[in-house]
Structure 1
Amino acid sequence: MSSSTDELTTADSAAVAALPFTVAVTADAARPDGSSIHGDLGLQRLGEHGISWSVLPSYTDPVPLADLDGVHAVLSLGHIAFDARTVDHAPDLRLIARFGAGYETIDLEACTRAGVVVTNTPDAIRRPLAVAGLTLLLALSHKLLAKDRLTRTSDWARREHYRGAPLVGQTVGIVGFGSVGAELARLLAPLGMNVVGNNRSGRHAEAAGLGVELLGLDELLERSDYIVLCAALTPATEKLIDAAALARMKASAYLINIGRGKLVDTDALRDALRNGRLAGAGLDVFEPEPLLPDDELLSLDNVVLSPHSLCWTEDFTRDVAASALESILAVAAGERPANVLNPGVFTTEAFAAKQA
């Protein structure tokens, strides 16, 4: 956390209250009273600093322009689109604070031109998301879903058919090796597993210290026994794991996706699982979301599923909400927040005009 936001936490609230500031909370994950599917967001903090807030009147994507009239900041709890049409016609809007790390539905270039700062919460989500990846890996390796079902149906005689897969000496390939991947590598270290990674730059400051070798994607797919997808969704990464990529993987390998559903060609994944060309998959994200009731993934014994919420823990909500609120308080006080996704915005005339 930056020093400016540390200072703001203990600053005199009257100094912030002197600046009229209104926050809108998206209705995709919040109710009119401010309660949310994530738990308590701590929105009372805004009121304590003289900042007014309200939940948008409806879950509409994109947000109706009229709903942004007089709004200085949006706390975006989900993945509502903020495109050029929206931000260009929201003259009061100064900040979009994302609750979480992903921002693929926000047009950063349009926000920069419009003088709108965009922030996310990468530090707060790093550990919960890494733990989610580890959870799926362990569940798959121990055939936990099948064993749970055998126990519930008193079918103990078939347990011999569900022996766990090894961990020690096995290779975990992390695709999109960044802060979450580095955290996952730290969690895996005591298990005696080898970790390799892949990212766009081919570099990461912590990789060498963690004993992580950075590889090209094809080599990672061929060497790994468990593959964890942590990559951000961009045009370049959509369907990154397609039929050709799946064909490079070992038939004994497991695919884990904690990034975005669109990173995987789901039709190709179903085919690989159905035909035994992949040992199994652990999925917290999908395309589409939610899955259709007749989706084959729901009936496969070698797939562990979670409804895009595996990292939703009490500490996740506390830390992510605190980080997003710090961004709002910083901008309301005329300070630069941490975790800015479009730092070029600070040099634009549009930004300067909104601060005048």
Structure 2
Amino acid sequence: MTGSFKAHVCRLDLWINPVFDETLARNPDVVVEVASSDPSCAATEKTLADAHVYHVCAAKDDLPKRWWVNSDLIEASPNLLCVSAGGAGYDTVDVEACTKAGIPVVNQAGANAHSVAEHTFALLLAVIKRVVESDRMLRTASGFKREDLMGDEIHGCTIGLVGIGEIGTRTARIAAGFGLKVLAYDPYVAEEDVRARGAEPVSLETLLKHSDFVSLHCPLTAQTRHMIGAEQFAVMKPGSVFISTARGGIHDEIALYKALSSGRLRGAGLDVWEVEPPPHEAPLLSLANVVATFHTAGVSHGGRRNVARSSAEQILMMLEGVRPPHLLNPEVWERFMKRREQILGHASKLESV
């Protein structure tokens, strides 16, 4: 760039690892503007109207709907060239609306994959080993025996992964270390690739019937919403364990409560909820065989740092006209390049960081 023209990146005043701003600050032709997340703030609307890039929080319950990326926000932001979702998920972004407007969207797939895969086993082991039950009883009760809290081994069991992308693949690798057989259902991955990622490809029904542990690792879409409901829980192996570090809404919480309270399922480890955080009176939270966390699987120091760095690097790539690795709507790239030239002009040749 010429040094006089600046590419404006807008993010809201929600917490983000400092490496995001630090990475973008290394390029003198990029300006980061931090706007208020207050849904009534007119200044934020003005900042977005002038922005070339919008880095948006991917957590639906952390971001006011006023600032979700939808057709209304896009219409009010004529200079918007590209959108960066701050996570592997992108619940707050209408990708179809962005595609229609010629706006590429990136997520940060894989950036926090190690954290989420590790958390999957933290939940699984907590359920199987009855860690939380033991902790509570030691703090509140007396006169019980160790055998009253007897857990089990996972070695030699079967884990079924619904989705085998970046996180599912890492989960499969960890599972192998625990001596688990790994099944996977993913209609978007070829069977030979599923095997290369460490799992045996099967149908969803087969996975549910034969897995001791079922773990979700797929995005929330129109196709996956409530894909695990009463019918699927009824198919699951009696005494099996359900785990989700994916997204709330993929499983039906009422159906899961019934499957657990009836004794059909042994337990559940849940990091994601329809409403986050779930209310204290949520039925699932009343069950001793449920271990619950607050969508923190990817919210580790390392995971957040990796996501922030990935976000900044992909933003710089798009501003430089370089196709990023985690583009959700690749069909829009040619239109984006034309819009980029029109909006940024010849000054848009950013210097390498």
Specify the TM-score bucket, using the shorter chain as the normaliser: 0.7 to 0.9
Which deviates the most, 247-256 or 112-121? Answer: 112-121
Q: Distance in 1 between matches of 2:103 and 2:192?
A: 30
Match of 1:258 among 245, 270, 295: 245
TM-superposed deviation, 1:232: 0.8
Percent pairwise identity = 31
Note closer, same or farther for the CA distance 1:340–1:211 as it changes in structure 2 (3 Å cut).
Answer: closer
Structure-2 residue corresponding to 1:155: 142
Is 1:347 aligned to residue 325 of structure 2? no
Name the counterpart of 1:58.
37
What TM-score comes out, normalization by structure 2 length?
0.87
For 1:87, which of 51, 74, 81 is the aligned residue?
A: 74
Letter paired with 1:120: N
Provide the rounded CA distance (Å) in 2 between the counterparts of 1:16 and 1:167.
60
3-state DSSP of counterpart to 1:91: coil
TM-score of the superposition, structure 1-length normalised? Answer: 0.87
**For the aligned residues, what is the CA RMSD?**
2.3
> Aligned pair 1:109/2:96, yes or no?
yes
The whole-number CA distance in structure 1 between the counterparts of 2:236 and 2:38 is: 40
**Uncovered stretches (5+) of structure 2, i.e. residues with no partner:** 346-353
Matches within 5 A, 1:98-137: 98-137=85-124
Count of aligned residue pairs for this structure pair: 334
Structure 2 counterpart of 1:70: 50
Shift of 1:185: 0.5
- Three-state SS of the structure 2 residue aligned to 1:263 is coil
**Conservation of the 8 A alpha-carbon contact between 1:202 and 1:215:** no
Match of 1:209 in 2: 196
Whole-Å separation in 2 of the counterparts to 1:173 and 1:290: 27
In the alignment, the residues of structure 1 paired with residue 139 and residue 9 of structure 2 have an alpha-carbon distance, to the nearest angstrom, of 48
Give, in angstroms, the shift of residue 230 of structure 1.
0.7
Which secondary structure does the structure 1 equivalent of 2:322 belong to? coil
**52-61 or 146-155: bigger deviation:** 52-61
Q: Where does structure 1 differ by over 6 angstroms across 4 or more consecutive aligned residues? A: 61-64
Instruction: Output the CA distance in 2 between the equivalents of 1:281 and 1:254.
Output: 5
Residue 45 (structure 1) aligned with residue 16 (structure 2): no
Change in 2 beyond 3 A, CA 1:350/1:46: closer
Other-structure match for 1:23: 9
Distance verdict in 2 for CA 1:39–1:353, change over 3 Å: closer
Cα deviation, residue 148, structure 1: 1.0
